Structure 1
Amino acid sequence: MMLRTFTTASTNTASSILPHPNLTATLFSPFTRKSLTAIRAALIKSAQEYPPIVADPKEKHAAVLIPLCNVKDQPGILLELRGKLKTHSGEVSFPGGRVDPADRTFAEAAVRETREEVGVLSDQVEILGQVGPPELSLGGLRVWPYVGFIHATPKLRRYDDDDDLGTPLPSLRMDSLTLSQFEVAVAFHLPFPIAAAPTRLQVHHFRGMRPYWAVEVSDLIKDPQTQFSRVTGDGKGKVEVWGLTGWYLFQFMKVLKIYE
């Protein structure tokens, strides 16, 4: 893909985004304990590049999970298409929502919302770190994004301590998910090779200023009856990972050096 350069209105400086030329081979093989350790370390290193952000108690907060998983031995991200809701109906999103008073941490809120929306047990989720900094949603919520791996089974049956660190972790069965009928129309898996395919990438500008890649995922949606609110100019009903979800996906893919 050709290198593209953009000028951001906020800084008047150029920033370049393109699929990384040296894709990490392990990201195109199933997730292993070794690769999860590497992702955790990359997230910690990335967090050091921006100032720590302390939650403002005067703000309203939400949390989302960027849920990594193997599906049919392919590494990727679990996404959902929102149901007929008051806001963002029919758009692609990560599992997540408002932080409840009973949630002890924002990460706990993200895991709880994942359980409520797609039926993943809390013990199946291994939190790896955060992507940041957290952004404000259009509705005024400060949204805290966490990265976690969804294991195919609860914690006690994940793996034995003497297993090879490079052994592929078991794949999640999509038919094992229990979707919230009210909130989620469809859940689907976005494999990394597809997320990195140049033919699927379209430049968007987050909040009108910061360039990022939106990813076209129409063919990954398994329910042809679903009506999508995000339709591109060609009128063919294309579905994209865009907006705040697209921005956080872009930031995470940069951490993994899939995008640069």
Structure 2
Amino acid sequence: MQKSAAPFTLPRFDPRALPFVGEPDGLPPVADAAQTVAALRQRFAAPPHWVPEIQREPKFLDRAPAHAAVLVPIVLHARPTVLLTERTQHLSTHSGQVAFPGGRSDPQDRDAAATALREAHEEVGLDSDGVEVLGSLPAYVTGSSFIVTPVVALVRPGARLHANPDEVADIFEVPLQFLLDPAHHRRQAFEWQGQRREWYAMPYQDGGRTRFIWGATAGMLRNFYRFMSA
């Protein structure tokens, strides 16, 4: 999945309609004991040696690279969850997709954490006073030429959130335990103009609704799993 290819234009398609490729790879889930507040703090305070599984997607937009950051907000319920958003349908890129709060870096942002916190406040109204930044994962380069730094943080539950209607259609949470179990990490593939793209998908049943996590968001979560299981 690491090989790059020449840029090519992707047609519109629905990943929900694509089959999965192969079976889950049989890797073990991250233990519940490693998902506690103390364990998460310790993991980032003394990170293990590890290598991200996915660092760069094949390009599908031929434009100058741009730096960005996303917040990976772990909400501290009794069983932690990860806060995610669904992007609005009218956005020019990645419309309707599940995403972390985040976006392009601004010149006044002192670092990736500042970008992620600013964007999270703009998109979902998350107040940085209730956020404890643990650290960052290595940059993830998307097919649309964004160099994205995932910033992992702990978030107090009960935050009063509100979606920015220009960018966010919905805000929801997925159990961290679900996301850190590779039994739920499925692969998909798409062939177009003689080239093949592959990505991870992590469909989550939220009541009667399927939250279809795929693409860059799923790739960063897969890297987070690799970091937590190293």
- Given that 1:19 and 1:196 are in contact with CA atoms closer than 8 Å, whether structure 2 keeps it comes out as no
Q: 1:37 aligns with which of 41, 47, 52?
A: 41
Corresponding position of 1:230 = none
- Given that 1:212 and 1:250 are in contact with CA atoms closer than 8 Å, whether structure 2 keeps it comes out as no
Letter in 2 for 1:173: G
Q: For the residues of structure 2 that align with 1:130 and 1:243, how far apart are their CA atoms?
A: 19
- Given that 1:62 and 1:99 are in contact with CA atoms closer than 8 Å, whether structure 2 keeps it comes out as yes
Per the alignment, in what secondary structure is the counterpart of residue 45 of structure 1? coil
1:141 aligns with 2:138: no
> How big is the shift at 1:138?
2.6
1:220 aligns with 2:206: yes
Structure 2 unaligned blocks of 5 or more:
5-22, 53-63
Per the alignment, in what secondary structure is the counterpart of residue 86 of structure 1? coil
Letter in 2 for 1:220: D
Q: For the residues of structure 1 that align with 2:137 and 2:162, how far apart are their CA atoms?
A: 26
Corresponding position of 1:65 = 71
Q: 1:204 to 1:41 in 2, by over 3 A?
A: farther
Residues 207-250 of structure 1, C-alpha deviations (whole Å, 9 max, x = no match): 956x7642102x3278x7xxxxxxxxxxxxx5421111110000
Letter in 2 for 1:78: L
Per the alignment, in what secondary structure is the counterpart of residue 63 of structure 1? strand
CA-based RMSD? 3.3
Q: For the residues of structure 1 that align with 2:27 and 2:124, how far apart are their CA atoms?
A: 31
- Given that 1:64 and 1:145 are in contact with CA atoms closer than 8 Å, whether structure 2 keeps it comes out as yes
Q: Following superposition of structure 1 onto structure 2, how do residues 108-257 of structure 1 map, counting pairs within 5 Å? A: 108-132=114-138, 134-150=139-155, 152=156, 172-173=157-158, 176-196=160-180, 200-204=184-188, 213-217=200-204, 219-220=205-206, 238-257=210-229
1:86 aligns with 2:92: yes
Q: For the residues of structure 1 that align with 2:182 and 2:24, how far apart are their CA atoms?
A: 12
Letter in 1 for 2:80: P
Per the alignment, in what secondary structure is the counterpart of residue 64 of structure 1? strand
Aligned length: 197
Structure 1 unaligned blocks of 5 or more:
1-7, 51-57, 153-171, 225-237
Q: For the residues of structure 1 that align with 2:26 and 2:134, how far apart are their CA atoms?
A: 23
Q: For the residues of structure 1 that align with 2:28 and 2:146, how far apart are their CA atoms?
A: 36
- Given that 1:202 and 1:213 are in contact with CA atoms closer than 8 Å, whether structure 2 keeps it comes out as yes
- Given that 2:28 and 2:181 are in contact with CA atoms closer than 8 Å, whether structure 1 keeps it comes out as no
Q: 2:81 aligns with which of 72, 76, 80?
A: 76
Q: For the residues of structure 1 that align with 2:2 and 2:84, how far apart are their CA atoms?
A: 31
Per the alignment, in what secondary structure is the counterpart of residue 74 of structure 1? coil
Letter in 1 for 2:31: T
> How big is the shift at 1:23?
3.6
Per the alignment, in what secondary structure is the counterpart of residue 138 of structure 1? coil
The two structures have a TM-score, normalised by structure 2, of: 0.72
Q: 1:255 to 1:184 in 2, by over 3 A?
A: same
Letter in 2 for 1:91: Q
Corresponding position of 2:28 = 21
Q: For the residues of structure 1 that align with 2:167 and 2:207, how far apart are their CA atoms?
A: 16
Q: For the residues of structure 2 that align with 1:129 and 1:147, how far apart are their CA atoms?
A: 6
Identity %: 31
